[in-house]
Amino acid sequence: MVDKQTRYENLVNAYSSWLYRYAYWLCGESSSAEDLVQETFLRAWRFMDSLKEESSAKAWLTTILRRENARKYEKKSFSYSDVEMDEIPTPQTDFDDRPEVIALHVALRELPAKYREPLVLQVLEGYSLDEIAAMFTLPRNTVATRLHRARQKLRKQLEGNDKSLVNRGQSV
Amino acid sequence: MNCLDFRRFRLSDPYSTDAENLSHRVECEACRGFENEVRKLDKQINKALTVEVPEGLAARILLNQSLQSKPRKPTRWYWLSMAASFFLAAGFIFYWTTVTEPVERALVQHLEWEQPIVQSMMMPVQQPQIRQVLNSVNLESTTALENVVFASTCIIDGELVAHLVLEDENHQFTLVLLPQKLIDVDKALQFDDEHWRGVISPDQSGNSLAVLASANDSASFDSMHALIKRLKDSVKPLKV
């Protein structure tokens, strides 16, 4: 029988990277993403006994992370006009910096959260429509529509970027 | 399935193995091309989403957890609170073993233990989640259960049960639906604990329904009986 500490360490080793990536796309910033993952795992430690099936651990952690993020978001309802310019963090640069990847990165950031969240779960981790619907407590069709719109918006945005690159090339 | 449906479907699930979808794919070359395009887009998205994970993240999480769970040096207050907890626990054990019945004791113990988690997770629950929770304990509802703010499956006395919380303007009711008769008597059992009041009632199909309210809530036993009656009318064993 594996003890609580070992179970916990296994969870951290297995899922911290995935949760960090998901958190990054939820809050859009690396230090906030790490804080969010830390808080998620602390809460998970407190409620480890309520995790009965190891197979549902990933969905359980994802749900805790989403709730922690919602809680933080509620607390942090300040106006952006209150923030001094020098307090704004420099843009994240720890990813592939080829132009097409950056264009897609920007397009993903601009995608409304309700479209981006299920897309991240599906593309990055292969969650099925049913699993996402259960996690978000939404009807399956709603999730399907959001994913459909997410991809449609990304396609349109990328097509727009291509055209503007071509136009810029012609004018030079 | 026509081309429009196929494309709509593929944009929501590019790797689905749905039979109708696959057969349209075989027949239509243009749609095959479209699918390849979507899958190519997904590969690009995957690449863009894969941000680098900070080095040593797992180690920092484990360090944080070990610092949080490290026992602090006991203070005078610590020993006083330990003594108080001991007498309180002794009081509870005496109370539970002498006053309350096993079924409600198990229920109350579970609710007391889970209450902080439930309180922190309360938010309106959509019908599919309620359906999923009921189905997990082989039950289904013939009408929509309204005002549900928590729905989950739990284990009480080794049995999987559905645990729901209903909230209206005035009261908050906890429902526990057990797909097994917990009490032998045919009529409802009513109890009034220090922290919880409630009604447990068996039904014809071999289930037990419990409705509880916190002792601080002014909900009457009549309102609990009424809720049990409504539930018995709508919650039935799952038809396979």
Give residue limits of the domains in chain B: 1-70, 72-100, 102-237
Q: Give the pLDDT score at B44.
A: 87
- Measured at the alpha carbon of residue A127, what is the angle toward residues A124 and A130, in degrees to the nearest 5? 150
The pLDDT of B69-85, averaged and rounded, is: 68
Say yes or no to pLDDT of A86 above 50: no
Give the chain A residue whose CA is nearest to the CA of B42: A123
The 10 Å Cβ neighbour count of residue A134 is 18
Q: What percent of chain B has pLDDT over 90?
A: 12
Between residues 59 and 118 of chain B, which touch chain A (CB distance below 8 Å)? 60-62, 64-65, 68-69, 114, 117
DSSP string for residues in A102-165: HHHHHHHHHS-HHHHHHHHHHHHH---HHHHHHHHT--HHHHHHHHHHHHHHHHHHHHHHHHHH
Q: Which of B38, B65, B120 sits opposite A45 (nearest CB)?
A: B65
B121 Cβ contact list (under 8 Å, min separation 6) = A67, B150
Looking at the domain A93-172, which fold is it? Arc Repressor Mutant, subunit A (1.10.10)
Query: Is the alpha carbon torsion for B73, B76, B81, B82 positive or negative?
Result: positive
Q: Give the pLDDT score at B211.
A: 92
Cβ distance B8 to A148 less than 8 Å, yes or no, reads yes
Chain B within 8 Å of A51 (Cβ-Cβ)?
A: no
Say yes or no to pLDDT of B166 above 90: yes
Question: How far does the CA of residue A38 sit from the closest CA of chain B (Å)?
Answer: 6
Domain residue ranges of chain A, discontinuous segments joined by +: 1-79, 93-172
Q: Give the pLDDT score at B184.
A: 58
CATH of domain A1-79: 1.10.1740.10
Q: Could you tell me the two tokens for B198?
A: 């409630």
Q: Give the pLDDT score at B112.
A: 79
Report the C-alpha gap between B10 and A151 in whole angstroms: 10
The pLDDT of A1-24, averaged and rounded, is: 88
Chain A within 8 Å of B51 (Cβ-Cβ)?
A: yes
